[in-house]
Structure 1
């Protein structure tokens, strides 16, 4: 794919390089390591908010027994109270504190995908506060596949709730710098574990219905789930007014400051419309950019990069365009196989308009 742009910008913003264990605008930044995980766990145990890395995106953590701190998550993020939180655990023993029943299908999925980017919605234990589940009888739970996340949860000794560590509606953070862009001064600490390996959130699978249902596509594909379960897995769409059973269903999410237009339809018509729109915005003096999926290697080989690469870079690109002052972002649809389903879900959620040609 050839890159199109309505504005040539030579100066690239440089990401800030942070030194170990610095305090930035009132927020401590811990560089990765076991000692840093213990320090961050101490802050959690005292009722503080700590952002930490997972393999998907950075999470904003509070222990499940700190109700005032859990309420602070909603206030700091500007998150609606009817949007449930995901509980993160470090071992299967902690699961007994979170859920009241583990069905056989859950056992199979945990054996295959935990630790990893799969969140299971199960019937919640009476020990789980209603603030976590938005008053629902279910709870979302997962075991992250990141050594710092696991070390942090083990050090606290209790499960940790954690939505993405960003302002609600913004692109999710995949680096510590992204977290600080949104939440510096608002939380106690950030545990820096580098860039997230997957780059989009976990798949959320509801196992409380008659058939397994994907509530949010993510790092584990529908095809992988069906292979383990030996059954068809449905994909839910949310249109109700009551609390959704999973994050990422009811509200607009993942949005850059500029307006994102998602172009779908035949490839030839998409390209014609994109070329026309970029020319129009250029003539109007409006900074516009095609969300570019091309890498240097793919230019040389003539092939597209894999969907895993696109997922890993998606949120970072959207935030980068914000730094450049891009007002309009044009995005093309991609295949919805594998993790492509999750990427298209995020683009649709972020878009101010979907244009089919």
Structure 2
């Protein structure tokens, strides 16, 4: 999988999510916009007649799609991203019927029933067992005995999967280790020439990847926080999920992982990212950091959220962006602003952390993986 990807003239095809709907009981979408129908058909044709990976929007981030049933398609995903092959992929389906019919997964363990009734379609990924009947490429699972699956709620994603009638393996559509893409232009920036097309469905609404849970172990485990909060899982899942435990944030170099986001450096711009937590208004902590690391005269960017009231002129900070004061806003803006300030060729990106509850848990998970260093104001 180390061979270079083919060279493409990458096309960006506009689609209108608002023109797509799924009527109850129908496996195929109703599409009212002719151009959207044409572009979805083109993308579905690419998935079903070639081994090429393509970019598409989901409610979380943009994904890079290839058939989860075909080894060569999965290899195209790994090549385009330059992704390590021991990092498993998530399978995306358009319906439970497709899960049964195409992947030959006939039963979903009862521990998941309440959760998928509430959060499918949506940003929740579950782990299911692989047996001799499961129709899935071993490259998707990294040769493990489980696979991760979700049903996206974004109408473009779900329509693409339904029209092609192909369960798709889809990591985020960025170059490996880069911040995840929340706009089609991010995908084009990272993967231009590496994939034939990107479906442009506008901005992603959630902004961080899906939540991944494992109900096959006892107690069940949160493998990756994301678009469905830990609090929501406990509330909806009931007694079976009240003792859910959190997996460690980062797996060891030689450790086998069951889901993306647990291994290797992730979500990182080119510039050095420094995360600040418990630093009150931020002035003292940032001033000390700039002085200690002799950053005077460097091009520094600051991403602030709820508490920081920085005197940027005195501190010499040249670029300031607001992430938002609510965790949901920070989630929506995080990857987009990391990319935006990085493209200004800054040397360092200072980021204000937020509380690790509800959506904040997923945000801080991503920031801790993007950051080279974390400064805790309570330990200064």
Paired position in structure 1 for 2:123: 117
1:249 equivalent in alignment to 2:267: no
CA distance in 2, matches of 1:115, 1:192: 20
Which runs of 5 or more residues in structure 2 are unaligned? 1-6, 16-35, 308-323
CA distance in 2, matches of 1:283, 1:162: 39
3-state SS, counterpart of residue 214 of structure 1: strand
3-state SS, counterpart of residue 253 of structure 1: coil
1:81 equivalent in alignment to 2:81: no
Shift, 1:264, TM fit: 2.3
CA distance in 1, matches of 2:357, 2:37: 37
Shift, 1:281, TM fit: 7.4
Alignment of 1:121-140 (within 5 A): 121-125=127-131, 126-140=134-148
Paired position in structure 1 for 2:11: 28
Alignment of 1:85-96 (within 5 A): 85-96=89-100
Q: What is the CA deviation profile of residues 122-145 of structure 1, one whole-angstrom value per residue up to 9, with x for unaligned ones?
A: 112531121000011000000001
Paired position in structure 2 for 1:262: 275
Distance 1:339 1:283, change over 3 A: closer
Shift, 1:72, TM fit: 1.5
Counterpart contact for 2:124–2:212, Cα < 8 Å: yes
CA distance in 2, matches of 1:283, 1:248: 31
Shift, 1:67, TM fit: 1.4
Paired position in structure 2 for 1:328: 348
Paired position in structure 2 for 1:13: none
Q: Which of 40, 44, 47 is the matching residue for 1:41?
A: 44
Shift, 1:75, TM fit: 1.4
3-state SS, counterpart of residue 267 of structure 1: coil
Paired position in structure 2 for 1:4: none
Q: Which of 328, 337, 349 is the matching residue for 1:308?
A: 328
1:233 equivalent in alignment to 2:236: no
The structure showing larger relative contact order (alpha-carbon pairs under 8 Å, at least 6 residues apart) is: 1
Shift, 1:79, TM fit: 0.6
1:71 equivalent in alignment to 2:75: yes
1:275 equivalent in alignment to 2:287: yes
Q: Which of 182, 187, 203 is the matching residue for 1:174?
A: 182
Counterpart contact for 1:34–1:148, Cα < 8 Å: no
Q: What is the CA deviation profile of residues 241-300 of structure 1, one whole-angstrom value per residue up to 9, with x for unaligned ones?
A: 2321110001110001100011223525x44111343577796321111112369xxxxx
TM-score (norm 2): 0.81
Paired position in structure 2 for 1:151: 159
Distance 1:273 1:118, change over 3 A: same
CA distance in 2, matches of 1:119, 1:248: 13
Shift, 1:356, TM fit: 2.1
CA distance in 2, matches of 1:323, 1:275: 24
Counterpart contact for 1:34–1:151, Cα < 8 Å: no
CA distance in 2, matches of 1:266, 1:287: 22
Distance 1:242 1:276, change over 3 A: closer
3-state SS, counterpart of residue 83 of structure 2: coil
Segment of structure 1 superposing worse, 193-202 or 57-66: 57-66
Counterpart contact for 1:101–1:123, Cα < 8 Å: no
Counterpart contact for 1:27–1:184, Cα < 8 Å: yes
Count of matched residue pairs: 325
Aligned CA RMSD, in angstroms, stands at 2.0
TM-score (norm 1): 0.86
CA distance in 2, matches of 1:191, 1:338: 30
Counterpart contact for 2:70–2:137, Cα < 8 Å: no
